[in-house]
């Protein structure tokens, strides 16, 4: 979670990497996004303050981009 949150360029880096690695990461992210428990727990990976919780939508969007690349 810290890597996805802390590296805005991660989507591009994954896409630029080897195809097999890229495919594996995309598949695993898609599995996470399809798991309701993961989506429910996502806010718990961040600090409880308002600024940190506001990042949930950013994290979710990054996971979606990674899963679709």
Q: What pLDDT shows up at residue 59? A: 95
Task: Quote the pLDDT of residue 14.
Answer: 94
Helix axes 56-68, 19-33, angle to 10 degrees: 130
Share above pLDDT 90 across residues of the chain, in percent, rounded to a whole number: 90
Residue 69 pLDDT more than 80?
no
- What SS3 string covers 25-43? HHHHHHHHHCCHHHHHHHH
């Amino acid at each position: 979670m810290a890597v996805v949150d802390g590296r805005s360029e991660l989507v591009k880096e994954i896409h630029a990497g080897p195809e097999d690695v890229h495919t594996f990461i995309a598949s695993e992210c898609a599995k996470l996004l399809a798991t309701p428990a993961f989506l429910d727990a996502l806010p718990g990976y961040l600090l409880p303050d308002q600024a940190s919780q506001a990042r949930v939508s950013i994290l979710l969007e990054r996971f979606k981009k990674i899963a679709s690349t």
